[in-house]
Chains A and B, each alone.
Chain A
Amino acid sequence: MLSQRQLALILVAPGLLLVAALFLYPLGFSLISAFTKPDGSLTLDWFAKAYELYSTDIVFTVVIVLASCGLTALAAIVIAGTLTLGENPWIVGTLKALYRWPLFIPFIVAAQCMRTFLAKNGLMNNTFVSLGLMEPLSAVSYLDWRGIIATFVWKQTPFVALLLAGALASIDRATLEAGRNLGASRVRVLVELALPQVMPTLLVALVLSFVTMLSVLSVPMMVAGSQPTMLTVDMAFRINSYGDYATANALGVITYLISAGAAILYLKRGLSKEAAP
């Protein structure tokens, strides 16, 4: 007769095996491949090559992802704050109906939308010209770093705003009302009373967004094709054009390092929730 522990392990094992085979093994492989020569000796050559060829892209990737996370956080705070503390039912209702739309839209669809919307003759510039806000000659294409950031913020804001609005709705209203009664503006109540209470939620949502943005291949490929570009595109290029796994894996290890801080925060949160009764 099986003990309960043995039964539990047997039930969990198949899922764990899949994760081990398709995540842990390739992760280990990428680490080994990035640090070894074909003859098996340890080396940092691949990192030197990655740095030499792609140092601009490394900086570009970090800047894009950080800027996108910052703008996403700002937009999400404005939306979630308005939803929670807004007093005009018409504005709150419209915002509520609108803000969630990009939530389940795939990145590749978002990329295709932005590819046409932000182009030199895209709907955005055309609308500005039609409204008389811009001269036709001053229209420029945003299909570069700005396009990538715009796509990331457009796609991730609803996710962060949804989690944040949920957290804001569940905090004690009495303190917020008290703040209002004492004469604090709504912005002040949001920033000084409400936000500190929901910081953990905001942080987790941003960490998830950070790692997601670092993993997306379609957006940088479709929205901004030229140099500089993001590390995901460089990795795909090293593999598809040269079959150069060593340098691609060195770039991979660099993306792990970029996300390491974020990943530790996320996993710690997962563990602390686990440890809680």
Chain B
Amino acid sequence: MIRLASAARATLAAALLAAFAFVLIGPLANLALWSVAERWYTPFKLPVTYGTRYWEQVFRPTGDAMASLGTSVWIAVLTVVVALALSIPAGYALARLKLPMRALFMVMFLLPQAFPSVAIYINVARVFYQIGINGTVFAVVLVHAAHGLVYSVWIAAAAFAAVDKDLELAARNIGASPLRAFFTVTLPLAAPGIIASGIFVFLESLDEFTGTFFVGVPQVTTLPLLLYNAAMGGNYQVASITALILLVPSVLFMLFIERFLRADVLAKVGA
């Protein structure tokens, strides 16, 4: 009797796990199928003909996708540069120096995450339009960097806080200037956390849709905007292929994040 009950429980658990796997993987499998479906219409449950015609179309050097990918990566790189240039000094000051109203400043960097962003972006777009920078890469980079600062400042502060102060003092004791101690001791030790925050900002920028939608149109087309236009235009193949391209960095990040972001840094985020 007990064995029967445990067998029933095991079957139930396996069924639940299978259902969970279907719900989780199903949408992604549908995406992959669409990317290689040359013809797929009702009532067929699977594509009628498979092929890579749309991949060739997307990856053609003159194709929109390659241009959008280039724009996306260029914007993401610039966003990382801007975000790190602002968050390394800020993170160091927040972690190491005596700062009046420190808590207030930390919360200032959190604020953009605490409000729904669409209403903010429409007003940013209006201001950018007035000063004539709407629709430029520069404008999109600024919007992405402001969004990325939330992560990069908090992670940078945590990374600097995780560096042993005694090592800095030792460098100072043997005659290094404060700046030299920072660049030869503190910064290299904090680097893994800062690199992780940079990767995070890069991915956020690559995936960002709403801000680009308001600030970048019609001149700046990133991959998410291309995906949106293709999907709304009914071109499921191009939309699915673009979506798969966007998935690659995200999946790589998930596989590698543990190498960069050490547990002791993670534990200090927000500490």
- Expressed in whole angstroms, the minimum distance between the Cβ of B203 and any Cβ of chain A is 7
Given contacts A30-B123, A91-B13, A235-B118, contact A7 B210 (CB under 8 A): no
A270 in complex: contacting residue of B107, B118, B120, CB < 8 Å: B107
Tell me which residues across on chain B come within 8 A of A91, comparing CB atoms.
13-14, 17
Provide the main secondary structure of the chain A interface. helix
Tell me which residues across on chain A come within 8 A of B114, comparing CB atoms.
211, 259, 262-263, 266-267
Given contacts A5-B100, A7-B93, contact A113 B109 (CB under 8 A): no
What is the 8 Å Cβ interface bit string for chain A, positions 111-126, against chain B (1 contact, 0 not)?
1111111000111101
A182 and B198 alpha carbons, distance in the complex (Å): 49
A12 and B156 alpha carbons, distance in the complex (Å): 12
Please determine whether B99 and A8 come into contact, CB atoms closer than 8 angstroms: yes
Query: A55 an interface residue at 8 Å Cβ cutoff?
Result: no
- Expressed in whole angstroms, the minimum distance between the Cβ of A213 and any Cβ of chain B is 9
Please determine whether B228 and A222 come into contact, CB atoms closer than 8 angstroms: yes
A/B interface sample: 14 pairs, CB < 8 A? A7-B97, A12-B93, A18-B86, A22-B124, A88-B13, A116-B30, A116-B236, A117-B27, A127-B26, A217-B210, A245-B122, A266-B114, A273-B270, A274-B102
Further 8 A-B residue pairs, CB within 8 A, beyond A216-B210, A221-B232, A236-B122: A16-B105, A26-B123, A100-B254, A108-B209, A108-B224, A108-B228, A255-B119, A275-B103
A121 and B97 alpha carbons, distance in the complex (Å): 60
Please determine whether B271 and A273 come into contact, CB atoms closer than 8 angstroms: yes
Tell me which residues across on chain A come within 8 A of B122, comparing CB atoms.
30, 235-236, 239, 245, 248-249, 252
Given contacts A104-B203, A116-B240, contact A154 B90 (CB under 8 A): no
B115 in complex: contacting residue of A5, A12, A259, CB < 8 Å: A259
Tell me which residues across on chain A come within 8 A of B23, comparing CB atoms.
154
Please determine whether A114 and B92 come into contact, CB atoms closer than 8 angstroms: no
Given contacts A98-B24, A116-B240, contact A27 B120 (CB under 8 A): yes
What is the 8 Å Cβ interface bit string for chain A, positions 1-29, against chain B (1 contact, 0 not)?
00011011101101110110111111101
Number of A interface residues in the complex (CB < 8 A): 90
What is the 8 Å Cβ interface bit string for chain A, positions 212-249, against chain B (1 contact, 0 not)?
00111110011000000001100110010000010011
Query: A256 an interface residue at 8 Å Cβ cutoff?
Result: yes
Q: Which of A76-114 contact B (CB under 8 A)?
A: 88, 91, 94-95, 98-114
Query: A208 an interface residue at 8 Å Cβ cutoff?
Result: yes
Sort chain B's interface into a size bin.
35 or more
A114 and B121 alpha carbons, distance in the complex (Å): 26
Tell me which residues across on chain B come within 8 A of A104, comparing CB atoms.
203, 250-251, 253-254
Query: B146 an interface residue at 8 Å Cβ cutoff?
Result: yes
A23 and B247 alpha carbons, distance in the complex (Å): 29
Identity of the chain B residue whose Cβ is nearest the Cβ of A268 in the assembled complex: B107
Tell me which residues across on chain A come within 8 A of B127, comparing CB atoms.
25-26, 29
A9 and B102 alpha carbons, distance in the complex (Å): 10
Query: A56 an interface residue at 8 Å Cβ cutoff?
Result: no
Identity of the chain A residue whose Cβ is nearest the Cβ of B156 in the assembled complex: A15
A42 and B102 alpha carbons, distance in the complex (Å): 36
- Expressed in whole angstroms, the minimum distance between the Cβ of A42 and any Cβ of chain B is 19
Tell me which residues across on chain A come within 8 A of B210, comparing CB atoms.
215-218, 232
Given contacts A11-B90, A95-B20, A98-B24, contact A270 B98 (CB under 8 A): no
Please determine whether B239 and A112 come into contact, CB atoms closer than 8 angstroms: yes
Tell me which residues across on chain B come within 8 A of A95, comparing CB atoms.
17, 20
Most buried by A among B10, B13, B86, B143: B86
Please determine whether A112 and B243 come into contact, CB atoms closer than 8 angstroms: yes
Tell me which residues across on chain B come within 8 A of A117, comparing CB atoms.
26-27, 30
Please determine whether B224 and A106 come into contact, CB atoms closer than 8 angstroms: yes
Identity of the chain A residue whose Cβ is nearest the Cβ of B257 in the assembled complex: A104
- Expressed in whole angstroms, the minimum distance between the Cβ of B239 and any Cβ of chain A is 5
- Expressed in whole angstroms, the minimum distance between the Cβ of B184 and any Cβ of chain A is 19
Tell me which residues across on chain B come within 8 A of A235, comparing CB atoms.
118-119, 122
Given contacts A14-B86, A15-B109, A273-B271, contact A232 B118 (CB under 8 A): yes
A275 and B227 alpha carbons, distance in the complex (Å): 44
Tell me which residues across on chain A come within 8 A of B43, comparing CB atoms.
121, 136
Query: B265 an interface residue at 8 Å Cβ cutoff?
Result: no
